Amino acid sequence: MKYYLIAGEASGDLHASNLMRAIKKLDPMAHFRYWGGDLMAAQGGQLVKHYRDTAFMGVFEVVKNLPAIFRNFRLCESDIQSYNPDVVIMVDYPGFNLRMARFAKKSGYRVFYYIAPKVWAWNRRRVHKIRKYVDKVFTILPFETEFYAKYNVPVTYSGNPLLDAIHNRPRKEESFDGFSVRNNLSGQPIIALLAGSRHQEISRLLPDMLAMRSHFPNHQFVIAGAPSFNENDYAPYLEGTDGVKVVFNETYSLLQHAHAAMVTSGTATLEAALLRCPQVVCYKMWGGSFTDFMSKKVIIKVPYISLVNLIMNREVVKELFQSTFSLDALKDEVSKLCYNEEYRRLMLKGYDELGYIMGGPGSSERTAQAMWDALTGR
């Protein structure tokens, strides 16, 4: 069969690549065409557009790049029609994929949505579009499965693909010393910095994360390099900072060996928890107190911004968001993570409960099987 996949971020590239690998086991004649990244490209097929050229964050960035965004819409529409796939598989990336789902469904193609839009968090009206334009939704969180079912959306839960990625990670038996030597690090405990995968996130959060160095001289600060970035992207932030390292393609190993982490809200918060790394969740946007008010009163419909706390339905990790984010608050929280053993113990206990709820690996295979059964009528 012919599969057309659309992923617009680093996490989507990862999970779509694992799904492609699982599909090939069921369908040896599978042919792929996709929007994504290097991990998907490693599975074969044709890459139409890399996600680093399509990711725009924030109102200003979106408005500034509207001509490019509309060109991408037109390119994707014509490319789908030219390829004429058996199914179009959307992977997260709702701002782009919901429009493409509408086009694909109206054009007569089957539409699956993997890693469904977080409509339970904001703009819940979009659930009606999903019910209308998506043949089946494949969710990765138990509570969102219940949400979609409540709106009569055909939905299947087959586990979370992060568990597969973490289970299959390379060098998971490597020691701290081995990791340090291989990456030219010192023997000091590590504070990991996961500042996001978009330029806007890094520009807003990385300087504040780096400002913590003077408060923790007995720790080394190590940045997890985003997959679509290189050392030149981080260089402006590292001027005058001796000893800060950036490691690429090592995020899971870094979290496994880190003593604590500062993590930008997103998938990385769940990754850190599953790898049992104590963390503080950070996020701030433009607009200051106005954005804070709008987020809490109008936009965000859930009590937490991190997946860890959402799944657990309680505060397991501290969230510093907009008005609660400050250098003093960040310093206090990192101090607790590094030096308060009881605080660390309670967080790790919460992580253990989270791991039990999430279950084990095998999500990619189960999702591929469910898709294959739907496509073949089994």
Contact present, 54 and 106 (Cβ < 8 Å):
no
Query: Within the chain, what is the greatest distance between any pair of CA atoms?
Result: 61
What pLDDT, in 10s, does the model give residues 302-315?
A: 678 899 999 999 99
CA distance 84 to 171: 40
Nearest partner of 34 among 82, 88, 78, judged by Cα: 88
Share of the chain above pLDDT 70, in %: 91
The rounded distance, in Å, linking the Cα atoms of 359 and 158 is 10
Winning range, highest mean pLDDT, from 42-56, 158-172, 215-229: 215-229
* Whether the predicted pLDDT of 301 surpasses 70: no
Range 169-358 classified under CATH 3.40.630.30: no
Mean pLDDT along residues 215-241: 93
- Distance CA(19)–CA(266), nearest Å, equals 20
Q: Encoding tokens for residue 310?
A: 């959402």
Question: Average pLDDT over the chain, rounded to whole?
Answer: 90
Check whether 300 has a pLDDT greater than 70: no
Q: How many CA atoms lie within 13 A of 67 on its CB side?
A: 1
Q: How far apart are CA 90 and CA 287, in angstroms?
A: 31
In the CATH scheme, what is the code of domain 2-165+361-376? 3.40.50.2000
How many beta carbons lie within 10 A of that of residue 344, not counting itself? 16
- Other Cβ atoms less than 10 A from the Cβ of 106: the count is 11
Using pLDDT thresholds of 50, 70 and 90, give the confidence band for residue 290.
very low
pTM to 2 decimal places? 0.75
Burial (0-12, 13-18, 19+ Cβ within 10 Å), 11: buried
| Mean pLDDT score, 22-39 | 97
Place of tokens 């996020």: 283
Under the banding of pLDDT at 50, 70 and 90, the label for residue 58 is low
- pLDDT tens for each residue of 160-212: 988 988 998 999 999 999 999 999 999 999 999 999 888 888 999 999 999 99
110-146 tens-digit pLDDT? 999 999 888 877 778 889 999 999 999 999 887 888 8
Burial class of residue 92 (count of CB atoms within 10 Å of its CB; 0-12, 13-18, 19+): buried
- pLDDT tops 90 at residue 65: no
User: Hey, where are the domains in the chain?
Assistant: 2-165+361-376, 169-358
pLDDT over 60 at 44, yes or no = yes
The pLDDT of 259-271, averaged and rounded, is 93
pLDDT tens digit sequence for 328-350: 999 999 999 999 999 999 999 99
Q: 297 pLDDT exceeds 50?
A: no
Q: What are phi and psi of 24, to 5 degrees?
A: -65, -30
